[in-house]
Structure 1
Amino acid sequence: MNAALTLSAASSAPSPAPSSAQSTPLRVWAVAGLPLLLAAWGVWGLLGQVDTAPSEAELIHWGAQAQARDEHATTVLRNLARNGLTPAMPLLGRVLVQRGDARSVAEGRDWLQRAAQTGDTTAALQLGKLWFKGAPGLPADADRALPWLKQAADQGQEAAAHYIALILKNGSPQTPAHPEAAARWMRRAAEAGWADSQFLLGQMLLHGQGVKADPMEARAWFERAAEQDHPEANLQLLLAQTHAELGLHRQADSEAERWREAQHALKHRPEAP
């Protein structure tokens, strides 16, 4: 056979099959590596989606995880807020304030304020309450609370009326006491159904604070608050019955029932405004 034929035969001959030792790594990669690569791609894709435009359900999920002190979830929320996602701002703010340390409270306050400045009514209410009550590293300041509470009230957050009433009832360094205005704000909150407001309005009516004294209307508000298991309202009615006041009469069975209701209410206090 001449050289040309030899060369042609050699070049057309099939390549030898790989040994089992050589093919095993390829098979392992095909079975395990590719799914791992696809899974990793999916994880990164999900993270990218969450970081840019999460659904409401995803946002709620991250908020719940952050509330449980999951630092990864907190970082996700923080990145979302920094990227301008408005719903993430008050959520992150509430989570941080609830942690209760001064550093978290300060950052949480800032996020609540940013959200309130965009028109978020819940954030304005939370920020006003935070300034009103104070927190670690954040002394209570009624004057700083008042503008945020008024913003919230103007936008339909009736719970804010309760705190505005308290500020106006007691006064503050920059806000003189205004009992009449306090009574109007407290009535607004009471009519919205807040038991604390109903009880306090009853007290104002009973003692003529900012409003003409009206014991019978006071009793009506105490009864509305008591229906919501407000303990002080129950005790007020019990005392009135014991002393035959507010149009109530002494009755042993009725007084015993009111006492049981008052004790029950101490364990089931209604939600505060």
Structure 2
Amino acid sequence: MKVLVPVKRVIDYNVKVRVKADGSGVDLANVKMSMNPFDEIAVEEAIRLKEAGVATEVVAVSIGVKQSQETLRTALAMGADRAILVTAAEDVHQDIEPLAVAKMLKAIIDEEEPQLVIAGKQAIDNDMNATGQMLAALLGWSQATFANELKVEDGAALVTREVDGGLQTIKVTLPAIVTTDLRLNEPRYASLPNIMKAKKKPLDEKTPADLGVDPSPRLEVVKTSEPEARQAGEMVGSVDELVAKLKEKGIV
């Protein structure tokens, strides 16, 4: 069974994001970039399936700028077998929208014919949480989102997913799309020998034109701004005073 894992290059989660002075977007100049944490979990889960003898090959795919090669090399160092880079943008500030990403992934899936796609539930830069669902719709495949446990057996995936009321376990027929939540696993660190081996693993490069997809944006970012600073709290001397303050602010 072949498993395909989409990965995205994003600002490292430890970095404090800075908004451009003109409000046109996030400043990415001289900022550390890394693999989207949810995608890292997806890569780890795919590798575990291979180690368990369930999967035979793990293919990592990234769609974005040329520098996304670094992200793919990280996936290869973790244990992916090969990688595919779709260079869909020249400017690091240009984000490829979920629908365009889903269309390009569909074209790659049509070529690669994997039985399972494991993707992060969302990217931490735009928080769209849409690519996996759009991809499933375009392919007409089963989907299981927000997975915190995954088992593959007898041509189906048994997925325990997080919902508002607790946990829900569903069974989806393969081929399928599964999107990962934080509690699915803890990704491994790539060892130095594996980092060196990753440099020799195959990494194919494609363009949106090769896949017959137009990545032109359909959305326009009107404004980007910092969240409002939290106001200082007020000390009260009694419960009655607290209730009075809450009524005054229209909270109760």
TM tier relative to shorter chain:
under 0.3
Structure index of larger Rg: 1
Larger fraction in helix? 1
Q: Which has the higher contact order (CA 8 A, sep 6+)?
A: 2
TM-score of the two chains, using structure 2 as the length reference:
0.22
TM-score of the two chains, using structure 1 as the length reference:
0.21
